[in-house]
């Protein structure tokens, strides 16, 4: 096949990736962005088949088997995985990207050594350095993502796992990984060096993510996504495939940008997230002493009366809403209120949930209008004009300690200024702290009422009470 035609195909594919990424930046166009990226990937795959020319019957069987297996798994995931499980799924897919990268890198090196073809690549530093980078970054991405998946799924402790000297151990292991990578570059004919690189990178990935607590999962997922893109880009250099280099670079760059956005939203630096261990923080304050006798409970009927008299209502979704799968009940509440000509908006904190955009995805799934989802910076100045705020399963993102207690693990983190509203309704199963491990003094404010109930059931009860009002 004409090389120029293949390059044009790759160019079109790359343009579609860029356009798709742009469309993914807004919930309203995200579906089109996803489809655009999928078309780009299809053209890229077609280009790869054309570039490598004639494919043997045995190769066709393997390729077809892989496509069939991937289709079956992908279809099953699309049908079975709940939206609440999306953070875990994203973490796992990041890991698979890293796994594919270091396996392809190792296979390329082994193929040269076993067949004796293209041996000139072994003296090409672009090839050897890219191979070593693929091994390290791909392995870190794979095992780090598996640990992140385990934390989100509850298979591994969500708390920060620390031990004496852990930072020194990670630095030493990183240095060992780089040294093994150097040996792999200078002695590419010794295939064992590559797999030693992978082993060291795999251990490093585990040690990097284990100390990170659940509160930092949005940042970790964005960062691992970036790692998977960088690993894919390095694999592109190994294979000499331009479209893979471009696609990997786009994923890597967008992941880094998203990571910075998440860190800014938490008012923390990336090194602090990686080495600070928020989520494993402990507090010396007894939550029972703070809350004892000071919280005011409410009922569905009382909440319905407050809402019936309100003109403006803001709903703050959190991870508790996701766990309860309450998004459709929240939509019913939204419909009830708007039918009464009550203005309803949703306040979205950048790190609410367990991955970037988690709340937006859940609300979009429930057909909440996109223009009703307000970012923190947009809605914060208006909370003093809100009649009722309903906090459904959120905790740390509305905790005033972020502004009042310099010693708090969440000190300095921008929060939603819900305390300025006339009335605050907190839907929560108990007074247990969020992932940051600190109590929330918002719960004992004079204008705050606690509705102790599962997020979905509580919302349904409020909807029922509203119908009777």
User: What are 2-61's pLDDT values in tens digits?
Assistant: 778 888 888 999 999 999 988 887 777 888 999 999 999 999 988 888 887 666 677 778
Q: Is residue 190 part of a domain?
A: yes
Whether residue 3 lies inside any domain: the answer is no
C-alpha 154/C-alpha 151 separation (Å) is 5
Considering the domain architecture, whether residues 209 and 307 belong to the same structural domain is answered as no
Q: Do 140 and 267 have their domain in common? A: yes
**Which helix (H) or strand (E) covers residue 314, if one does?**
strand 312-317
Region of residue 276 (phi > 0: left; psi between -120 and 50: alpha; otherwise: beta): alpha
Lowest mean pLDDT among 148-162, 164-178, 271-285: 271-285
Coil vs helix vs strand at 2 = coil
Q: Are residues 225 and 326 in the same domain?
A: no
1 is a domain residue: no
Give 178-218 pLDDT, tens digit per residue. 999 999 999 999 999 999 999 999 999 999 988 887 667 77
Query: d(Cα 206, Cα 169) in Å, to the nearest integer?
Result: 12
Burial class (CB in 10 A: 0-12, 13-18, 19+), 407: exposed
Q: Which 8-state DSSP code applies to residue 443?
A: G
Exposed e or buried b per residue across 312-345, where buried means at least 16 C-beta atoms within 10 angstroms of its C-beta: bbbbbbbbbbbbbebbebbbbbbebbeeeebebb
The string of pLDDT tens digits covering residues 376-388 is 889 999 999 999 9
Please, are residues 325 and 456 in contact by the beta-carbon 8 Å criterion? yes
Q: Write out pLDDT tens, residues 325-358.
A: 889 999 999 999 999 999 999 999 888 877 777 8
- Computed from CA positions of residues 130, 174, 281, 162, in that sequence, does the dihedral angle turn out positive or negative? positive
Exposure of 407 in the CB half-sphere (CA atoms within 13 A): 4
- Pairing outcome for strands 388-392 and 423-428: parallel
pLDDT at 54: 67
Whether 404 and 438 share a structural domain: yes
**Lowest mean per-residue pLDDT among 159-163, 277-281, 310-314, 393-397:** 277-281
Picking from 404, 378, 392, the residue whose alpha carbon sits closest to that of residue 462 is 392
**Rounded distance between C-alpha atoms, residue 94 and residue 2, angstroms:** 34
Tell me, yes or no, whether 34 lies in a domain.
Answer: no
Same domain assignment for residues 244 and 305? no
In a domain, 47, yes or no: no
Apex CA 408: angle with CA 91 and CA 205, to 5°? 25
pLDDT in tens, 95-132: 999 999 999 999 999 989 888 887 888 888 889 999 99
Query: What local confidence, expressed as pLDDT, does residue 217 receive?
Result: 75
pLDDT above 60: residue 280 = no
Is the domain of 256 the same as that of 320? Answer: no
Tell whether 170 and 133 lie within a shared domain: yes
> Is 31 inside a domain boundary?
no
- Residue 445 forms part of a structural domain: yes
d(CA 333, CA 466): 9
The reply to whether 124 and 251 lie within a common domain is yes
Are 325 and 376 in a shared domain? yes
Q: Please indicate, yes or no, whether residues 253 and 353 belong to a single structural domain of this protein.
A: no
Q: At what angle do helices 191-209 and 125-153 cross, to 10 degrees?
A: 30
Single out the residue of 350, 396, 395 nearest to residue 373, CA to CA: 350
Band the pLDDT of 418: cuts 50, 70, 90.
very high
Catalytic residue among 2, 216, 396, 417: 396
- Mark whether 323 and 231 lie in a shared domain: no
Which residue range(s) make up the domain with 342? 300-466
Establish if 291 belongs to a structural domain: no
Total domain count, the chain: 2
Whether the pLDDT of residue 279 is over 70: the answer is no
Same domain, 356 and 414: yes
**Which domain CATH number covers 308?**
3.40.50.1220
- If DSSP codes are grouped into helix, strand and coil, which group holds residue 326? coil
Q: Is residue 396 annotated as a catalytic residue, yes or no? A: yes
């Amino acid at each position: 096949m004409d090389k120029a035609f293949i390059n044009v195909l790759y160019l079109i594919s790359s343009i579609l990736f860029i356009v798709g990424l742009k469309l993914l930046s807004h919930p309203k166009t995200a579906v089109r962005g996803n489809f655009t990226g999928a078309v780009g990937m299809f053209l890229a795959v077609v280009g790869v088949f054309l570039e490598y020319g004639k494919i043997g019957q045995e190769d066709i069987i393997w390729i077809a088997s892989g496509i069939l297996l991937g289709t079956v798994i992908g279809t099953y995931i699309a049908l079975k995985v709940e939206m609440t499980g999306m953070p875990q799924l994203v973490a796992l897919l990041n890991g698979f990207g890293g796994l594919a990268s270091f396996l392809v890198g190792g296979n390329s090196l082994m193929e040269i050594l076993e067949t004796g073809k293209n041996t000139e690549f072994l003296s090409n530093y672009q090839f050897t350095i890219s191979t070593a980078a693929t091994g390290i970054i791909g392995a870190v991405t794979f095992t780090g993502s598996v640990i992140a998946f385990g934390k989100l799924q509850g298979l591994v402790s969500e708390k920060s796992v620390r031990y004496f000297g852990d930072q020194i151990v990670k630095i030493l292991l990183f240095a060992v990984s780089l040294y093994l990578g150097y040996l792999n570059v200078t002695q590419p004919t010794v295939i064992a060096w590559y797999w030693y690189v992978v082993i060291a990178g795999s251990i490093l990935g585990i040690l990097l993510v284990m100390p990170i607590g659940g509160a930092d999962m949005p940042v970790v997922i964005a960062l691992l996504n970036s790692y998977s893109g960088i690993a894919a880009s390095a694999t592109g250099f190994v294979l000499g495939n331009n479209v893979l280099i471009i696609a990997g670079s786009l994923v890597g760059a967008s992941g880094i940008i998203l990571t910075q956005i998440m860190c800014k939203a938490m008012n923390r630096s990336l090194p602090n997230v990686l080495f600070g261990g928020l989520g494993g923080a402990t507090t010396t304050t007894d939550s029972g002493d703070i809350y004892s006798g000071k919280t005011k409970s409410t009922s569905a009927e009382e909440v319905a009366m407050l809402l019936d008299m309100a003109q403006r209502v803001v709903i703050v979704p959190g991870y508790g809403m996701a766990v309860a799968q309450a998004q459709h009940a929240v939509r019913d509440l939204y419909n009830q209120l708007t039918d009464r000509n009550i203005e309803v908006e949703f306040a979205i904190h950048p790190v609410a949930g367990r991955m970037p955009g988690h709340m937006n995805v859940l609300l979009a799934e429930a057909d909440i209008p996109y223009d009703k989802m307000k970012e923190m910076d947009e809605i914060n100045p208006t909370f003093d004009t809100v009649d009722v705020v309903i906090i459904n399963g959120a905790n740390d993102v509305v905790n005033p300690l972020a502004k009042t207690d310099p010693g708090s693990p969440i000190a300095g983190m921008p929060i939603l200024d819900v305390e300025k509203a006339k009335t605050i309704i907190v839907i929560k199963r108990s007074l247990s702290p969020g992932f940051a491990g600190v109590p929330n003094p918002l719960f004992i404010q004079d204008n705050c009422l606690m509705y102790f109930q599962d997020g979905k059931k509580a919302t349904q009860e409020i909807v029922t009470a509203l119908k009777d009002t």
